[in-house]
Structures are given as structure tokens and as C-alpha cells.
């Protein structure tokens, strides 16, 4: 379970139908491109994953709210590249929705998957 803090309160990041539709619409290639971006630690993908992962809260967070929280986290040295990788990978690649596909992508190279998982945890 991945968590994210906004204004001193922690929220669980979850995927819902709305969040999956949003995330899959971001890149040409849909979910496959999203998985690739999530594994690479792309900062814009991290912002999008956090934003989409908060849809279930019904708090009406704006993308700009997420960017401000991330900016604050970086300034306070709470959010670094390792955190970005762990959260993005956890929400996307380790999720029930995408995990089987990620496993199939790495089926021919289990060593690579093991190395990526070690980095992302």
C-alpha cells in the first residue's frame, strides 16, 4: 500500500476505474507506455500516478495541489528519486490491475525483473 501526504494528512493511493482510464489516456500506447514510464521513474508520471491514485478519496484534489505537495516534499527532503520510484512502481507495476502484464513483460528476463524490484522496494 502506497501513501502520499498532502497538507499534513496521509492518503492511500489506489487505482479505480476512473484512475486507470486517466492514466491509460496519458501516453500513446496506453497502459504499456504507462508501465514503461512508471518503471523509469518519470517525474510527470509520478505526479499523474499520485493524482489518479487520490481519485478514490473524493476530496477533489487538483493536479496543481499534487505538484505543490511534491514540491514541498522535495524542498523538505522527504521526496527523492527513490521515493518516486517506489511509489510509482508500487501503485502501477505492483497493482492488481497491471501486475500480470508486468510479469509477462519480464517473463523472458526474470533477472531484470528481480533487479528492478530490488531498486523499487
C-alpha cell read off for 18 = 476512473
Q: How far apart are CA 85 and CA 68, in angstroms?
A: 19
Contact 19, 96 (CB under 8 A): no
Nearest to residue 65, comparing CAs of 80, 83, 50? 50
Percent of the chain with pLDDT over 90: 65
- What is the structure's pLDDT at 41? 84
Q: What is the pLDDT of residue 44?
A: 95
Which domain, by its residues, includes 14? 2-120
Question: Does residue 119 have a pLDDT over 80?
Answer: no
* The pLDDT of residue 104: 86
Residue 15's pLDDT is: 95
In the prediction, which pLDDT does 115 show? Answer: 73
Residue 3, classed as helix, strand or coil, is: strand
Weakest mean pLDDT among 65-69, 79-83, 117-121: 117-121
93-100 contacts: CB < 8 A, separation 24 or more?
A: 93/35, 93/38, 93/39, 93/120, 95/15, 96/15, 97/15, 97/20, 98/31, 98/34, 98/35
Q: Which of 56, 37, 59, 33 is nearest to 46 (CA)?
A: 37
pLDDT in tens, 7-65: 899 999 999 999 999 999 999 989 999 998 998 889 999 999 999 999 999 999 999 99
pLDDT for 24: 94
Q: Is 46 exposed, middle or buried (0-12, 13-18, 19+ CB in 10 A)?
A: buried
Q: Evaluate whether 84 touches 41 at the Cβ level (below 8 Å).
A: yes
Overall domain count for the chain: 1
Amino acid at each position: 500500500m502506497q501513501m502520499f501526504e498532502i497538507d499534513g494528512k496521509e492518503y492511500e493511493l489506489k487505482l479505480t476505474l476512473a484512475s486507470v482510464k486517466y492514466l491509460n489516456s496519458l501516453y500513446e500506447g496506453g497502459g504499456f507506455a504507462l508501465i514503461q514510464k512508471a518503471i523509469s521513474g518519470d517525474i510527470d508520471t509520478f505526479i499523474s500516478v499520485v493524482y489518479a491514485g487520490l481519485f478514490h478519496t473524493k476530496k477533489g484534489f487538483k493536479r496543481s495541489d499534487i505538484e505543490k505537495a511534491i514540491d514541498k516534499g522535495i524542498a523538505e527532503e522527504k521526496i527523492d528519486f527513490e521515493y518516486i520510484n517506489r511509489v510509482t512502481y508500487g501503485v502501477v507495476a505492483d497493482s492488481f490491475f497491471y501486475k500480470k502484464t508486468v510479469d509477462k513483460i519480464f517473463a523472458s528476463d526474470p533477472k531484470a525483473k528481480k533487479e528492478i524490484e530490488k531498486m523499487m522496494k
